Structure 1
Amino acid sequence: MTEKDFIPSEYTETAYRGSFEWSAPSNIALVKYWGKKANQIPANPSISFTLNECKTITKLAYEHKENTDGISFDFLFEGQPKDSFRPKIEKFFERVQGYLPFLKDYHFTIDTRNTFPHSSGIASSASGMAALAMNLMSLERLLNPDMTDAYFYSKASFLARLGSGSACRSVKGSVVVWGEHAEIEGSSDLFGVPFENVHDVFRSYKDTILLVDKGEKQVSSTVGHDLMHGHPFAERRFAQAHENLSITKKALTDGDVDTFIKIVESEALTLHAMMMTSMPYFILMKPNTLEIINRIWKLRAETQIPVCFTLDAGANVHVLYPENVAVKVLDFIKAELLGYCQNNQYICDEIGTGAVNLQY
């Protein structure tokens, strides 16, 4: 599919007033996306686990208006006006209005909340933009009831990407690929596609998120991605991501946990290496991040328990492990790792299935 496929022809129905409500989860990349081209196109493909508990719940109310001069909306976060969020929503609407021509015909009230604390250090842009995109697509499907499910979800992912790149991986699927890859049929730079051929051991994988630092990001994702332009190691990194995605694809299909661990941990450290070697440079890990990593390595070496870590663009640690060792890993986390978390805080999560319509 091309971008032109997401520009609708005339709508066949009308809608005057109503609302929708969707939840959309956060996701954690296994092979990392770092660096992008114009229009939120990734410089390399990525693959992620969709989470289950960490999600955004968004209600979109719409009312037809006579004045079609521009897009108008009210934004509420947890029921209260949140003006600091408006610029990001305005920018999103500007980017998508060519693909959703009905936007100027309505006044919207967007009421959103997260199932995790906003200050927890868990990125909410992916889940938030995905949830908003699902609601907007629900309205477009009212206006065009012949829309297929395949188109609905592909376009929702396409729109979410224009709000936050990784949001396209929060729409559908337990494991999602974003970015063109030679070995993955249907893969696209424009939207995420579910990776279906997943071995049973990974279908119930756990992710316990250790909140090492809940503070403001030292560097925004947008700035971080831009630092890959002219980065001395950029081209080799982009090639490495393609190679690692091939290896991860096979490991996920074969149930090869050992190979999965090697690639996932290497990818996490490579992401941070890219930031440490950019200009300007950043160290986003904290001393406690390194302590946690070393203790995970020690546990794995001494017990052969298949537990590993990954990182996002921050200090928090995602501890990944199969369901059949969950009791042992959680005991280890409580006994040895919580002291390295801010206020002993952590979130227990697991692999999920994507966005959910809450009005059914």
Structure 2
Amino acid sequence: MDEALLRSLTPGVLGILVRRGADFAAAEDAVQDALVEAIRVWPEDPPRDPKGWLVTVAWNRFLDMTRADAARRRREDRVSVDPAEQDSAVDVDDTLQLYFLCAHPSLTPASAVALTLRAVGGLTTRQIAQAYLVPEATMAQRISRAKRTVSGVRFDQPGDVATVLRVLYLVFNEGYSGDVDLAAEAIRLTRQLAAAIDHPEVAGLLALMLLHHARRAARIAPDGSLVPLAEQDRGRWDTVAIAEGVEILQAALARDRLGEFQAQAAIAALHADALTAEETDWVQIVEWYDELVRLTDSPVVRLNRAVAVGEADGPRAGLAALTELDASLPRYAAVAAYLHERDGDLATAARLYGEAARKATNLAERDHLLRRLSSIRREFNSR
């Protein structure tokens, strides 16, 4: 059974049912039933037209589920008037509209991510629950609420590309857990979106994902600990993914419609371009962070910029940039600790590493901060 084929066909089949008049929740249930039937039937009797087969089975399942509904006959009449029109509908790609629907502003980010993975990604509720380390029943409720929320939304309403991209970036940042590699899944979905819409920020996000994902093999040590960027074995970086990411980014930047994902990708490309950590062009990275600040005015961006300033102009310059920010920001203490360590103030660095470790929400990050704290204490006591 070609699971990748089924997942790639899912959004198109769902879109056809919605366009025929099925409400989103019922259509999504019908498509899931069709996928289950395909898994059962296709190994012994593969169809010549997989998408057409799924559309037929899903639509029949939808009609069965709504047979008691008074609107059923109107839907049947409307769709069955012209069989040729039904057949031609199979060739229409509704993937883009589904992205917009799943990233509807009325949904919470968590619900939008779950619905995107289910409706566009074709993942099962169990797979999504495992990826987010929550009970399957909890994820089922989240998805059901999300489906009910968007069921009344008109399918032809224009969508917000920026919202879709943020949802995909949230998926990517979940990384890997359970039996689903969400980073790889986010890249697959973003490729799909890039094929459906010609937009420089879509290309920028795809480039950013590829450039970050290229460093994945070097990011974790054999003992499971985090390896900081400066200490990573760059020979383990995926040069093919880096080359593709840079090429996509250059084409996007050439269109002169700069957005935040393109700027982030440019920073990632500068890191990827350095053969060693010492060769990193931090001055240019600071310039790109200045562009990001102009585009987003995000405190998190300003925090990352302070790190870059500390590398480009020295740790005291980085600490000066930190004074403009709220100390309650996530990772503020970790950044301050690093800059104080580079400035030789080990006592302050140790205190801040301890504070950062207590605030860390990620186990790997907390362990890394505690290792830094232990190392500094050993160095401090040896003086």
Is the TM value for this pair above 0.5? no
Larger helix fraction of residues: 2
Highest CA radius of gyration, 1 or 2?
2
Normalization by structure 2: what TM-score? 0.30
Q: Which has the higher strand share?
A: 1
TM-score normalized with structure 1 length: 0.32
Higher RCO, 1 or 2 (CA under 8 Å, sep at least 6)?
1
